[in-house]
Amino acid sequence: MNMHSDSSFSASRRLRFNRATLASQQRDGGKPVLVGIDREALSLNVGIIRRRLGARGLCAVLKGDAYGHGIDLVGSCLLDQCTHMAAVDNYELVALRKMAPNTPLLRLRVGTEAEISQAARAGWRIREMAASRDKIERISRLHAHFGARAEIHLTLDAAGLGRNGFFFRDLDDIDVLARDIMAMPNVTVASIACHLPDAGNADPSDRDDPSRVAIDKFRAAVSVLLRHMRENGRKLPELSAYSSASSCAFGQSDSLLDLGCAVFDRIGSSLLGLTEGNGHGERNTSQVMHVSTAVCDVVHRQVGETVGYERSYAVEAANGEDVALLGAGWLTLSRYQQGIGKTELPAWCIGPDGSPHRFLGRQSMNISTIAAKSARGGNLKTGDMCFLTTDFHGTDCAPTIPRIAKWMGGVQHEFVTSAFGASPSSLRFLF
Ligand SMILES: *Cc1c(COP(=O)(O)O)cnc(C)c1O
């Protein structure tokens, strides 16, 4: 029995979610999947993270429409809580700029020419990620065209991610880059960053841990850049090395704090309570998104009749059995997950009274079949709202996103959340 994960969806929260679900449905009904964003959980998570960050700033990472939670909903709750905000696509960045006129906004991927130019023309003041000399020069020109300064979030590939950072063999490469940047008239390097992809599995006490080696390499490269910036009388940049897992693993012994620059951590998953189960997750945070769906009908099946693909479930009770039909299958929950549901799922549906109902047989894209009666005597009726979960051990029945991710087959939890959120079948609301 795991009381911890159950606390992420306590009875009182379930009740609040239930009420909000009914209210949103009445106001704006018609969608089968209801996705509630729990403001209280979000604000508690932010408090936990900020306490641990200490002197470091908090950059809220809200890419992927805030990992499917809704950038409008989550962004407005976080406005006053973070020093920076980051996203990827222009529709996200402009939504953030409108709600936060003065917060530094970062694009956490190298932008396309069209994106950068649109942002520069509109004056959104986006700190553009760049990972090569040529890209910095392009960003500089695109801004100069509109008479604007280019703010750069310079990323260094210290950990061999080979994706978003400037690749350097040695510090001479950094020296050359620094000279080139200093020669560009309208460029400000506002921050320097690296990304540690394996920090979730790191041993922070091991000097040879690959993430530790990458931090040291980053630090050495930053020192070269800082020397050039000081010599040229430039304002010193901010530094940022950590996302959720690496922040928990290495942030305690932060070797960047003594370089004389402001430092901030880039936190996405942990804000949304998605890392609690990881090796280096943010402890005591709880899931912000809850998913609910409705019983559309209850049908009676006689003994010997079957339910689901390939006659996978046969009714054995002499008096037959009631089968509840949920208005959501895997297509509804996520357009990307079609077909996955045609398996026997280790899944449960939690009824309005908190009791678990079994999934009967193999499930499909557009509908789920559930035992209307639970072992505890719960009885689903048409119109009831249910929670979906993958695991049920005693009280450990909270429908957590990591569990749903496990159920779907080892996908990233943020992929699962964006799948729920992005589905045109879902209605998202704050509660
Ligand atoms: C997504 C992302 C983050 C946030 O990562 P989490 O693990 O979700 O906290 C940080 N930095 C960059 C560059 C990212 O793309």
| Ligand 1 atom nearest to CA at 88 | 15
Judge if the beta carbon of residue 266 lies within 6 A of ligand 1: yes
Say if residue 185's pLDDT is above 60: yes
Query: Helices (H), strands (E): how many in the chain?
Result: 14, 18
- Residue 103 CA to ligand 1 center (angstroms) comes to 18
Give yes or no for residue 53 having a pLDDT over 70. Answer: yes
Q: Of 89, 84, 98, which is closest to residue 118 (Cα–Cα)?
A: 89
Range of lowest pLDDT (182-191, 296-305, 376-385, 418-427)? 418-427
pLDDT recorded at residue 15: 80
Is the beta carbon of 285 within 6 A of some atom in ligand 1? no
* pLDDT mean over 278-290: 88
pLDDT digits (tens, 9 = 90+) for 298-331: 999 999 999 987 788 999 999 999 999 988 776 5
Among 183-197, 208-222, 350-364, which stretch is predicted with the lowest mean pLDDT?
350-364
Kindly give, in sequence order, each residue whose CB lies less than 8 Å from that of residue 259, ignoring residues fewer than 6 positions away. 219, 222, 223, 226, 239
Instruction: Give the distance (Å) from ligand 1 centre to CA of residue 323.
Output: 43
* 8 A C-beta contact, residue 357 and residue 398: no
Domains for the chain: give ranges and CATH numbers: 40-272 (3.20.20.10), 289-430 (2.40.37.10)
> Which atom of ligand 1 is found nearest the CA of 164?
13
Task: Give the residue from 46, 86, 51 showing the smallest Cα distance to 238.
Answer: 86
Q: Would you say the CB of residue 108 lies under 6 angstroms from ligand 1?
A: yes
What would the pLDDT profile of 343-382 be if each residue is shown by its tens digit?
445 467 888 888 888 888 877 777 889 999 998 889 999 9
Pocket test for ligand 1, best of 65, 218, 266, 413 (most atoms within 8 A of CB): 266
- Is residue 430 helix, strand or coil? strand
Instruction: Give buried/exposed letters for 221-235 (b at 16+ CB in 10 A, else e).
Output: bbebbbebbeeeebe
The tokens of 129 are what?
Answer: 């990620």
Residue 392 CA to ligand 1 center (angstroms) comes to 31
Confidence tier at 32 by pLDDT (50, 70, 90):
confident
> CB of 195 closer than 6 A to ligand 1?
yes
C-alpha count within 13 angstroms, C-beta hemisphere, residue 375: 7
pLDDT tens digit sequence for 108-167: 999 999 999 999 999 999 999 999 999 999 999 999 999 999 999 999 999 887 777 999
Is the overall model pTM greater than 0.75, yes or no?
yes
How does residue 49 score in pLDDT terms, banded at 50, 70 and 90? very high
281 in ligand 1 pocket by Cβ < 6 Å? no
* Residue ranges at the known binding site for substrate: 163, 365
The finding on whether 191 has its CB within 6 A of some atom of ligand 1 is no
For atom 15 of ligand 1, the residue with the nearest CA is 108
Q: Is the pLDDT of residue 95 over 90?
A: yes
Residue 328 contacts residue 368 (beta carbons within 8 Å): yes
Q: Phi and psi for 18 in degrees, rounded to 5?
A: -55, -50
Residues flagged as binding site: 163, 365
Decide: 70 and 100 in contact? Cβ < 8 Å: no
Ligand 1 pocket: which of 61, 71, 196, 248 to mutate (most atoms <8 Å of CB)? 61
- Residue 69 near ligand 1, beta carbon < 6 Å: no
Confidence check: pLDDT of 290 > 90: no
C-beta of 274 in contact with ligand 1 (< 6 A):
no
Q: How far is the CA of 177 from the centre of ligand 1 (A)?
A: 25
Ligand 1 midpoint to CA 59 (Å)? 10
Cα–Cα distance for residue pair 321/162, rounded to 1 Å: 56
Tokens at residue 159, please?
């950990």
Question: Which atom of ligand 1 lies nearest, measured to the CA of 267?
Answer: 9
* Range with top average pLDDT, 274-278, 298-302, 364-368, 418-422: 298-302
- Look at residue 386 in the predicted model and tell me its pLDDT: 85
Ligand 1 midpoint to CA 266 (Å):
6
**Is pLDDT above 60 for 1?**
no
Asked if residue 266 has pLDDT above 90, the reply is yes
